[in-house]
Amino acid sequence: MKKTVVIALLMLSVLLILLTTACGEAKTETVAEITVDTEAFLKKIEQTDLFVDTLGSTKESVLSQVMFLSTDKIESASLFMGTGFTGEAYAYFKCTSAEDAAIIVEELKTFVEDQKDIYISYAPDAIPHFDSAIIKQKGSYVAYVVADKNIEANRIVEEFFN
């Protein structure tokens, strides 16, 4: 009988130890969210003489219907494009995650290559703009710039997306 009581007490002790350690709160490290001042980025691009074409804001439908981007991976975006003869454009994309931003980067690279194939037949002077297209990711943000003055454009992108 004493042996049964001792075994029962030991089992109860083990059970209590397991229950108290299982209830502990898991410690997780929080990683600071990477942000980009997109308004300042767009303003600086707009105020700098980077383009030969006049660029204007486009509708969000362009992202999926013209650029073939996965819009389900994009939380917000702002895209400015020219008349179509220079290929010049600039944009930022705030994606749902850094992983989704990496997908958008690849889709933008594909878009640029496709544009080169299209422009070669009717606006071959635009090809150097696409050859030096800037696509840069910072966390869940992506910058996209195709400009006549790409060295200056790259400096601005580096300022905000580095």
Please say if the pLDDT value at position 29 is more than 60. no
pLDDT at 84: 84
Give the pLDDT band of residue 30 (cuts 50, 70, 90): very low
Which pLDDT score, from 0 to 100, does residue 83 have?
Answer: 85
In tens, the pLDDT along 59-73 reads: 888 998 999 999 999
Tokens found for residue 83: 């008349």
Instruction: 12-18: list long-range contacts, CB under 8 Å, 24+ apart.
Output: none
Asked if pLDDT for residue 13 goes beyond 60, the answer is: no
Task: Identify whether the C-beta of residue 107 lies closer than 8 Å to the C-beta of residue 93.
Answer: no
Task: Give the residue extent of every domain in the chain.
Answer: 34-161
Q: What is the pLDDT of residues 52-111, one digit of tens each?
A: 999 999 988 899 899 999 999 999 999 999 988 899 999 999 999 999 999 999 999 999
Identify which of 100, 97, 109, 96 has the alpha carbon closest to the alpha carbon of residue 135: 109
Q: What is the pLDDT of residue 86?
A: 92
Q: What's the pLDDT at 33?
A: 79
- Condensed to tens digits (0 to 9), the pLDDT of residues 107-155 reads 999 999 999 999 999 999 999 999 999 999 999 999 999 999 999 999 9
Q: Whole-prediction pTM value?
A: 0.79
Q: Give the chain's largest Cα–Cα span.
A: 97
Residue 38 pLDDT exceeds 60 = yes
